């Protein structure tokens, strides 16, 4: 089943004596001069995410090797080359209103010192906003989730069963219908059906009953039906050299 929401989390630990940790505590407590303080969290913002159909959002760490050529710098804090996790600067903003009271919100700023140039990434506005790039797996529409819920094996099994059932229903009982569907010549049977229709229109019910009984007899007697539906024999004209004179046929007809 395809999950409608993708979730994931990234955590970062601040050392006890870190200045950013103290600034974060001062901003939350609202101490003096805390409005001018900021807290920098390293390696907390994923620049590239991989979204799967199972509802998981994970950091695309496989881009580390490819992004080295773009100029992403070495992260000395984490002790490894991590080019997809970015640093964020947090600042707590407060606004006091006589009617609505005090409102607070966080302003986040992405650190772009170790970022590549703006032309290397599409739709990059120079860290004016938090831009994130996702790689999404293709998902079936919700109406087809019944077929895709079982995975590729379930989908393949469903298609095979449906196709086999369709083919079986199409060819089931075909041996009993070949003698009726593949008649070589149906002119005599067609003329019989037209005769039944004509006598019905004329009101000859007794004659209609006899003709209809004859039609039923044909379909109940395969041997008679084969004789009635044989192909007509086409007589080939004689060769031009063997053709008799024009008056020869007339004289032969007069003698007989």
Of 90, 113, 139, the residue that ends a domain is: 139
Tokens in use for 49?
């995410």
Indicate whether 60 and 126 sit together in one domain: yes
Q: What is the pLDDT of residue 249?
A: 45
Q: For the CA atoms of 53, 55, 58, 60, what is the dihedral angle to 10 degrees?
A: 20
Is the model more confident about 61 or about 65? 61
Q: Tell me if 35 is assigned to some domain.
A: yes
Indicate whether 67 and 129 sit together in one domain: yes
Q: Tell me if 240 is assigned to some domain.
A: no
Indicate whether 94 and 34 sit together in one domain: yes
pLDDT tens digit sequence for 107-130: 888 877 655 544 556 666 667 778
How much is the average pLDDT of 39-53? Answer: 83
Q: Which domain holds residue 229?
A: 174-235
pLDDT confidence bin for 210, thresholds 50/70/90: very high
Read off the pTM: 0.46
Q: Which residues of 41-53 are buried (b: 16+ CB within 10 A; e: fewer)?
A: bbbebbbbbbbeb
pLDDT confidence bin for 74, thresholds 50/70/90: very low
Q: Tell me if 242 is assigned to some domain.
A: no
Tokens in use for 16?
């006890």
Domain count, the chain: 2
Of 116, 139, 162, the residue that ends a domain is: 139
Q: Tell me if 211 is assigned to some domain.
A: yes
Tokens in use for 236?
């080939």
Indicate whether 192 and 102 sit together in one domain: no
């Amino acid at each position: 089943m395809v999950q409608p929401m993708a979730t994931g989390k990234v955590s970062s630990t601040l050392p006890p004596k870190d200045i950013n940790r103290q600034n974060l505590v001062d901003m939350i407590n609202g101490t003096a001069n805390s409005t001018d303080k900021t807290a920098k969290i390293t390696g907390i913002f994923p620049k590239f995410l991989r979204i799967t159909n199972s509802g998981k959002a994970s950091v695309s760490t496989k881009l580390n090797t490819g992004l080295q050529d773009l100029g992403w710098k070495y992260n000395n804090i984490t002790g490894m080359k991590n080019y997809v996790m970015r640093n964020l600067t947090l600042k707590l903003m407060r606004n006091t209103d006589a009617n609505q009271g005090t409102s607070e919100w966080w302003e986040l700023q992405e650190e772009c010192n170790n970022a590549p140039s703006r032309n290397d990434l599409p739709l990059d506005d120079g860290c004016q906003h938090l831009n994130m790039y996702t790689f999404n797996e293709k998902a079936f529409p919700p109406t087809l989730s019944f077929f895709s819920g079982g995975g590729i094996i379930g989908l393949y099994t469903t298609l095979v069963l449906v196709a086999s059932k369709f083919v079986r229903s199409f060819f089931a009982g075909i041996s009993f219908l070949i003698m009726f569907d593949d008649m070589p010549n149906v002119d005599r049977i067609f003329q019989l059906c037209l005769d039944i229709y004509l006598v019905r229109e004329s009101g000859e019910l007794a004659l209609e009953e006899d003709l209809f009984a004859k039609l039923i007899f044909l379909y109940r007697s395969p041997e008679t039906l084969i004789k009635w539906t044989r192909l007509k024999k086409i007589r080939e004209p004689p060769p031009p050299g063997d053709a008799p004179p024009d008056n020869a046929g007339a004289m032969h007809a007069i003698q007989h």
